[in-house]
Structure 1
Amino acid sequence: MKTSDAGYAVILKELQQAAAQLDQGQLTYLAEAVSSAGRVFVAGAGRSGLMMRAFAMRLMHMGIDVYVVGETVTRSLGKGDLLLIGSGSGETKSLVPMAEKAQAIGAVVGALTLAPESTIGRNADFVVKLPGTPKDQAEHEASTVQPMGSLFEQILLIVGDAVILSLMEKQELSGKAMYGNHANLE
């Protein structure tokens, strides 16, 4: 079977393989960090940034005080806040200074990356190791036929949604109840 004949099946198989590599302890820690933070700030660049924005939206739907770094309505980060950075390489030039500044301020920094040994990973208080790019293939089992960082970005979105489900269960919150925070000026 050619990839083009059933691309969705290939993608789903890759996602299953990648998900099997996730460390449940790291995901639990991430959920606990979100629930114990004063405020949550998310950052990412490119498509990874879009996945982090999607995560921020779901956190907002839950009633969590959340901000996307770089937006005009984003407040200042402070001690006790949580900065979550999504970066496959962990070396994104615009994100490295954010991690360093957040550390200096006394905020907690979490990195969602495939490179825990990266600059952002080393500057983080905790790392959620995600699989997912062709560069990743030589060292890890999460190989992919998808272009560039697609697998990483997909697993980043899924991890965000899995954390949301965990928080919903902990707070005994239903998806229906979350609609009260959904945008109503659309």
Structure 2
Amino acid sequence: MTATAAAPIPAILLELQRTLQSVDELQINKLAEHIIGAGTVFVAGAGRSGLMMRAFAMRLMHLGIRAYVVGETVTPGIAAGDLLLIGSGSGETKGLVSMASKAQSLQATVAAITVVPESTIGSLAAALIHVPAATKEAGTTAASIQPMGSLFEQSMLLVLDAVVLRLMERTGLRADAMFGNHANLE
């Protein structure tokens, strides 16, 4: 039995620590600024990355920021002054590339969280957070003991929580005040 198999949680935590220490704090701050300046924030991602983006949209709602998940039936159209934030490890997912191009053509701002800053989505982004993690695609720069894009998806969730902390700091909103926007029909 390998050390990783015997103690997977410490191994995962080491991977997360190594990855997150490489994320540029200035990129987190820039994304927070774009969110504060946006009329409405739209989030998108495919698969598990999409789930992380949905979690972030919920936190934005808790902060009182108008946020929507692209593809939901209640999501309105994007317009000039809005922000589309895409989470994509490769930055090349065809549907997300198309979305970014469409948003840009409507004068909305595009932002991205990706492993590959020079990707198509990365090159369309006015704000970008580079997460140097492994993705499900072969040949990415970081190795991981975890399957496919797990390290990227976990890192993205934590990076987005760091963005939430920046937003709380900038707006002066405390966690207890956010609870007033929490779902209450459950």
Checking the alignment, whether the CA contact within 8 Å between 1:137 and 1:143 is kept in structure 2 is: no
Aligned to 1:69: 70
Question: Following the alignment from structure 2 to structure 1, what is the Cα–Cα distance between the partners of residues 172 and 40?
Answer: 20
Q: Structure 2: which 5+ residue stretches go unaligned?
A: none
Code of the aligned partner of 2:33: E
> 2-side partners of 1:39 and 1:61: how far apart?
14
Deviations 1:118-152 (A, max 9, x none): 11112222221112116789664x43111000000
Q: Match of 2:181?
A: 181
Aligned to 1:118: 119
Secondary structure at the counterpart of residue 95 of structure 2: coil
TM-score, normalisation: structure 1: 0.94
Is the alpha carbon distance of 1:110 and 1:134 closer, same or farther for their aligned partners in structure 2, counting shifts above 3 Å?
Answer: closer
1:166, distance to aligned residue in structure 2 (A): 1.0
Matched-pair identity in %: 59
Structure 1 residues 75 and 163, CA gap change in structure 2 (3 angstroms): same
Q: Could you say if the C-alpha distance between residues 159 and 89 of structure 1 is closer, same or farther in structure 2, counting changes exceeding 3 Å?
A: same
In 2, Cα distance between the equivalents of 1:71 and 1:171?
28
Mapped to 1, the partners of 2:128 and 2:163 lie a distance apart of 14
Amino acid in the other structure paired with 1:81 = D
Paired with 1:86 and 1:97, the residues of 2 have a C-alpha distance of: 14
- Structure 1 residues 72-115: Cα deviation after superposition (integer angstroms, max 9, x where no partner): 00011000000000000011111111000001000000011011
| 2:160 aligned with 1:148 | no
Contact 1:83 1:102 in 2 (8 A): yes
C-alpha displacement of 1:4: 2.0
User: Does the CA contact (< 8 Å) of 1:42 and 1:68 recur in 2?
Assistant: yes
| Structure 1: unaligned runs, 5 residues or longer | none
Change (3 A) 1:39 1:158: same
Judged with a 3 Å threshold, the aligned counterparts in structure 2 of structure 1 residues 87 and 139 are, in CA distance, closer, same or farther, namely closer
Change (3 A) 1:82 1:137: same
Aligned length: 185
RMSD of equivalent CA atoms: 1.6
Matched with 1:43 is: 44
Question: What one-letter code is carried by the residue in structure 1 that aligns with 2:38?
Answer: A
Q: 1:11 to 1:137 in 2, by over 3 A?
A: farther
Q: Which amino acid aligns with 1:153?
A: E
Superposition pairs of residues 98-137 of structure 1, within 5 angstroms: 98-133=99-134
